[in-house]
Structure 1
Amino acid sequence: MTDIAPRQLHLLTFSNTRSAGPWRHPDLDNSTAGVRKRLIEHVRTAEAGALDAVFFADGLNYGPPQTWAYKITEDFEPLTTSAALSSLTERIGFVVTGSTTFAHPFHLARQLLSLDHLSGGRAGWNVVTSFAKAAAENFSSRGVPDHDERYRIAEEFLDVVRKLWDSWDTDTIVEDRARGIFNDVSRIHVPDHHGRYFDVKGPLGAARSVQGQPVIFQAGSSPAGSAFAARHAEVIFTGQGTLDKARAFYRQVNESARRYGRSVPPLITPSLRFIVGSTEEEARRAEQTAYEYFSPEYQAGWLLEVEVDVTGADLDAPVPASAFPESTERHQTALAGYRALATDGNPTVREFLWRTVNGWGLSVTGTPEQIADTMQTWFESRAADGFVLQHAWLPGQFETFVEQVVPVLRKRGLFRHEYTGTTLREHLGLPVPPNYYRAAS
């Protein structure tokens, strides 16, 4: 009888430096060199803790003009940043965001597979459909397609990318030095794709990844987004603020994945914003510090991208009903989440904006044991398979998590003591996908 390995928690961490105010902290160096140094230290700390991956969100514009006065400049492009950081690390994975609305399949497929090879099989792609009008204006676009249309585009885009990634089979490279033949051309797959949205001949001139293909992440929670994730995602990044909602989402995704014939359902990794202290008092002091440096003006400007408008509102008055549109075709899930934050407990505008720093995900402030307790409850309740960690970028917060929370999780048998593999798939316990063309034959 084969022993079944115990289920293990997965931990990823956000690595973006753009945020709502912590740059104001006197101990932070906000020069380009300072931000670069902070990123390197963050990724090395994550690897020292044996975390699965660092996660780079992205926006293809600098944001609404209302945010510009309050916002740190250096928020490096994810693919370039990950390629640079991969050369300074050995095991940690890199999950980068790439748009199916404004990128082209051939170009993005090539970039992602290049990152995967350069990192030794440690790349993941966070598939996004991009809803910001300001982003569309940077790509000679006529506007943003409606919500469900964006997911139809994403379906075809992902299909093309997977075909391109598998242009070379595992036995295509023969490297026959005597005859001077490097590739067996009979084993090169040419996608020759002609669809509704894309025409791509191919092939992509690159060997297949050591992990098969980069890992597919996805963050959709709307009906169309959830269906897309259930069909295609290997890891789902989501914002779930309560245990009950998270458990319901987890069940829904697993049931949908089974209906689509998937034997391995996606891993579910909600966001977790933490503020940690050795004692409860220390944690509360850190939270107060984060609140002091938080910029409500920046956050109010950023929310304009999802049609939530509290700019100019009295920060100490209740959130006005007029802040939300009656309906939207572009970001249904986001609006529902922010509405819930604005009505739960009747917060002031300032309190509402503080809540939105973590979207509508889980937030925990406390000691290492208290944070570990929450994570364990969600994990064992099948509300999460792991978490994408988001911290306030206060000096020492992430280091404290790795030094104090991770050992608690290890002591409870929830998290690895060291890496047992070298690729992102191995960290996540995901199977290597079969070659696209062999699977289709």
Structure 2
Amino acid sequence: MTRQLHLLLFGNTRSAGPWRHPDIDHTTAGVRRALIERARTAERGGLDALFFADGLNFGPPATWAYKTTEDFEPLTTAAALSSVTEHIGLVLTGSATLAHPFHLARQFLSLDHLSGGRTGWNLVTSFAAAAADNFSARGVVDHDERYRIAEEAIDVVTNLWDGWGEDTIVADRQAGVFNDVSKIHVTEHHGRYFDVKGPIGAARSPQGRPVIFQAGSSSAGSAFAARHAEVIFTGQGNRARAADFYRQIHAKALAVGRRTPPLITPSLRFIVGSTEDEAARAERTAYEHFSPEYQAGWLLEVDVDVTGADLDGPVPSSAFPATTQTHQTALAGYRALAAEATTVREFLYRTVNGWGAQVIGTPERIADDIEEWFHTGASDGFVLSDSGLPGQLDLFVDQVVPVLRKRGLFRHEYAGATLRSHLGLEVPARFGVQA
């Protein structure tokens, strides 16, 4: 089977900067309309899925003055978007350490059925103190402990998803019996972190199970991803680092006995113009409307502190702690960005896309970069960010996607109905055992 490029798109409305652009309607109704238009445009381009990040908090207080309010809760948002789309996948972030696995299993499987099998779970281990404070938690759990919790949580969730088999529902109208009780799997999980009896009472997913996404890049995180993830979302600032990460994940997946390694989709921020000059002008517009104050406040969540620093001076070495128990990969990624930036302002602008890659230029140049990453073993595709500027997503769909299609890299139309079919993933066996 010919390897195919995968393209996902951040579904979230952007909260830092672009709302200041005069052509952006940042009212609640405006954000709702923009979300629907975004989903339909991405689907028109044949993109695999919308990817919704989440933080379970409004951010550090230093961001509050600059952040828009209508960054809707992902599961609710995706449920609404599933009714105005037909094909595009819907990948939602759910915390394995702050949300209860019974709720996660029930919510994701419900959305998967309602969307016709288009759902993915971006499994995260929440690191922000502001998020923990909203869930009666005793502070942030240590980094490696979060992954031990996640190991148990994913086991519970997948067992709940597999509660019903193909022959559990008999729907015998004459006898009045709907389920063969002998074929209902009751989870009966009693572990270190969770006690869950089950079942959740739902037929198996149209795609077997929702697709598991994961973003771990630290030692513990990448080991977890190599065992469980079907798709890995990662931030890699350049192709060399991405290729090294790609090789490491493939080796770890092989070492734990996986026949097929996870797909790897780094983040990629793009700005497209019909000419290089037009693309440069669009980037200047994005630069003029981004909020350095917001970015500086948000970085506090990952223990990077440039608040109060001279925006036009160099990034102070004191901005970075020696170690962190919050997000180790983020700290390393932001250190690398700071080393490449000449000023704090430039550094903060680059962090709008986390610590990921970016490409600015004509459709052909953007397609060239995507193709190079894809063909040199640096990625299986990308999670795209369109900078939040009006019209940029349309330009990508109408100008970049046709170039990728012409080169034989990207689909002309959806071949199936589920997210798994878009991603070329097998339907997992119930309880991981092949019949």
Give the TM-score band, short-chain normalised. over 0.9
Question: Aligned match of 2:410 in 408, 415, 428?
Answer: 415
Q: Is residue 2:379 matched to residue 1:384?
A: yes
Quick check: 1:141 aligned with 2:134?
no
| Match runs of 1:19-418 below 5 Å | 19-344=15-340, 346-418=341-413
SS at match of 1:395: coil
Give the SS at the match of 1:137.
helix
1:408 aligns to what SS in structure 2?
A: helix
| Alpha-carbon distance in structure 2 between the residues aligned to 1:266 and 1:303 | 29
State the distance in 2 between where 1:431 and 1:29 align: 41
User: Which secondary structure does the structure 2 equivalent of 1:217 belong to?
Assistant: strand
**1:326, 1:92 → 2: CA distance?**
42
Per-residue deviation, 1:88 = 0.5
Conserved? CA contact 1:166–1:437, under 8 Å: no
Cα RMSD of the aligned pairs, angstroms, is 0.9
CA displacement 1:5-50 (0-9 Å, x = unmatched): 2111000000111332000000010100000000000000000111
How many angstroms apart in 2 are the aligned matches of 1:325 and 1:263? 39
Q: Is contact 1:18-1:74 (8 Å) kept?
A: no
State how far apart, in whole Å, the 2-side matches of 1:99 and 1:15 are: 18
Give the letter for the 1:408 counterpart. V
Measure how far apart 1:437 and its partner are: 6.9
Partner Cα distance (1:347, 1:158) in 2: 43
1:335 aligned counterpart, secondary structure:
helix
Tell me the alpha carbon deviations over residues 290-318 of structure 1, each in whole angstroms, 9 at most, x when there is no partner.
00001000000000001111111110000
**Counterpart amino acid of residue 427 in structure 2:** V
Conserved 8 A contact 1:189-1:437: no
- Letter of the 2:120 partner, please give it: G
Distance 2:230 2:190 in 1: 26
Letter in 2 for 1:244: A
Aligned partners of 2:367, 2:57: CA distance in 1, in Å? Answer: 36
Aligned residues: 435
Unaligned runs of 5+ in 2: none
Secondary structure (helix, strand or coil) at the match of 2:307 reads coil
Question: How far is 1:206 from its partner?
Answer: 0.3
What SS does the corresponding residue of 2:149 show, helix, strand or coil?
helix
Distance 1:313 1:409 in 2: 42
- Partner AA of 1:236 in structure 2: I
Distance 2:430 2:275 in 1: 51
> 1:322 and 1:256 mapped to 2: Cα distance?
35
* SS state at 1:71 partner: coil
- Scaled by the length of structure 2, the TM-score of the pair is 0.99
Q: Tell me how far apart the structure 2 counterparts of residues 79 and 261 of structure 1 sit (CA, whole Å).
A: 33
Whether contact under 8 Å (2:237, 2:333) holds in the other structure is: no
Q: Which amino acid aligns with 1:383?
A: A
TM-score (norm 1): 0.98
* Distance (Å, rounded) in 2 between the aligned partners of 1:347 and 1:236: 31
Structure 1: distance between partners of 2:282 and 2:14: 19
**CA displacement 1:208-240 (0-9 Å, x = unmatched):** 001000000000100000000000000000011
1:171 is displaced (CA, Å) by 1.1
Unaligned stretches of 5+ residues in structure 1:
none
- Runs of 4+ with deviation above 4 angstroms: none
Question: 3-state DSSP class of the match of 1:301?
Answer: helix
Secondary structure, counterpart of 2:333 in structure 1: helix
How far does residue 438 in structure 1 lie from its aligned partner after superposition? 4.6
